[in-house]
Structure 1
């Protein structure tokens, strides 16, 4: 995408300083965008696209998502016995976000009895770790 941005800027005959000012970013940030650096914020990329009149690139969307491998958007605590034991301090809700569940598993992994993990919970843990990373083992 950085190459396309640079090519558009050059085709329009606009220098880097004017482009950066129009996008509300520094010239250095524009240079990093044109090099394709991933550490630049999405907002900076979007500002440059708008300043150069470029459309937002279309993302590739998978044609089908395997529901078995998808991480649920809300995780019902009572559906996972080991999670229920680890989340004893959670009050006022019976569901967690994937990030919350991941953090609870990771923080309290030493208290997990892996031999008591049901297949469904084992699959959830592996999916969370694959999707979000972490220091606890795949089970």
Structure 2
């Protein structure tokens, strides 16, 4: 039985629900079943559904596992003040707009086994997949074009290059 929800600050429930909708939309866009996603995240299907509804009683660790299973990541940012003096949504950093096709990069495809072979990832999602799963990668199996992708992603996203 799920634990009771902790008291939430004003607006937090709305943000959690929106967060859950984004997770659900990503899973649907990737055409991955709830069962497959839950297994990849190490949780029950019911917990995944609670996450997709934005329930505050689900642990942050479970949310993070669900995000990782879908090739997503989250960042904590301070709101910025606009001209009105009120906090406004932060502007995300600019990143390359091209997508990375899993089918073009064998090691990335192997690391993102739960995604369809024809899936396309944003540069941030591709880098996150490599970074989170690097301990499972075989650097000696990387082809030249995949090594170049890693170098380009690190440079474009301002990250420390992976040890290839």
Shorter-chain TM range is 0.3 to 0.5
- Larger Rg, first or second structure (1 or 2): 1
